[in-house]
Amino acid sequence: MGTPALHPTPPDNGRKFVNAVISELSTLWPELKLVTGRPRHPQSQGAVERLNGVIQDKLKIWMHENMTSKWSVGVHFVQWQINISEHETIKTSPFKVMFGIEPKVGQASTVIPPNMLVNIRTEEYLDTILQNEAEVGGLMEAPQFAEARQLAAAGQEKNALRMTRRAIHLLSALEVGDNATLKVPEFDHGPSDSKNLLVVVLQRDEDLYQVGCREGRITTWYTAADMDPVKEKLLTPDEVPDVEMALRTAVTRYTGGQGYVKCACKTNCTTSRCSCTKKLLKCNSRCHPGRSCSNI
């Protein structure tokens, strides 16, 4: 099949490629196309974090019930429970989708047919049967695999249709000049900053929208799913300054907070070497704990 000529570059919230490596790849491989996704896109990213969150929650319960701090032991039991539990979308367990049968434990986990298991009374008899491969039934037939895969595929298709109908019902197209509140990811606002930002639609390109606020135009283009329409005309495109900025910068300027800016100065924060003083911000509780400061 050959090496794919399309490579997705990681977003800024994951491990970044070294710029020199990307430049070298482009030079040595002219046909290579680099595709950069939108940072922290909720529909395509965060799946690993969400799964890790589920595992962490279940692991906490296991450690509490067993009164132990050995999470490395409990993670095996937690992962096993997730693999054998029925999934809401595929209507069966991930284990059955993978192997075509429900999980078995003990003697049932062997390849010995069930009608022979009832006659086993001693360990020696079990060893004899296992050594004689001619008496042991073959592996599971392919139709059992196909049935499990078809059930999972049908569940995924049904769930996809349900989500599509829900999106069409809830999401309405926005036009230029419409007002909306933009949901600010938790990574882009400080502890005291607003979680929503009032914006107005400036341009539309199919399903993507460029929006602006009273501080300027946001560099990232968003979908209708990222915004909640506002009926009132609280902001017009003419009120948006002709300057582009990141969403984090716009939120910080809108709320008057300082976002994630902090310093670790060992002096009194009176010079421009202090990151807070340089940006005309006051030091906060996260700056140089236990040290005196003149910039408060």
The confidence score (pLDDT) of residue 38 equals 55
Token pair listed for 195: 């979680």
Q: What angle do CA 163, 165, 168 make, to 5 degrees?
A: 110
The confidence score (pLDDT) of residue 179 equals 92
Give, for 197, the enclosing helix (H) or strand (E): strand 196-205
Integer angstrom CA distances of residue 116 from 51, 100, 112, 126, 161: 40, 21, 7, 10, 45
Q: What angle do CA 172, 177, 178 make, to 5 degrees?
A: 35
The confidence score (pLDDT) of residue 54 equals 82
Token pair listed for 191: 């502890």
The confidence score (pLDDT) of residue 202 equals 92
The DSSP bridge partners found for residue 227 are 182
CB-based contacts of 162: which residues, under 8 Å, 6+ apart? none
Distance, in Å, from the CA atom of 6 to the CA atom of 9, rounded to the nearest integer, reads 10
The confidence score (pLDDT) of residue 105 equals 65
The confidence score (pLDDT) of residue 69 equals 82
Q: What angle do CA 232, 235, 236 make, to 5 degrees?
A: 110
Full DSSP string of 214-282: TTEEESS-B-GGGEEEESS----GGGS-S-EE-HHHHHHHHHT--TT-----SS-S-STTSHHHHTT--
Q: Which residues of the chain have pLDDT under 50?
A: 1-15, 42-44, 133-141
What pLDDT digit, counting tens, does each position of 61-97 carry? 888 888 888 888 888 888 888 888 887 777 778 888 7
Token pair listed for 174: 């926005």
The confidence score (pLDDT) of residue 14 equals 42
The confidence score (pLDDT) of residue 137 equals 46
The confidence score (pLDDT) of residue 272 equals 80
Query: DSSP code of 183?
Result: E
Question: How high does pLDDT run on average in the chain?
Answer: 74
The confidence score (pLDDT) of residue 200 equals 92
Integer angstrom CA distances of residue 56 from 38, 43, 51, 124, 147: 27, 22, 9, 43, 32
Distance, in Å, from the CA atom of 107 to the CA atom of 233, rounded to the nearest integer, reads 70
Q: What angle do CA 232, 237, 241 make, to 5 degrees?
A: 125
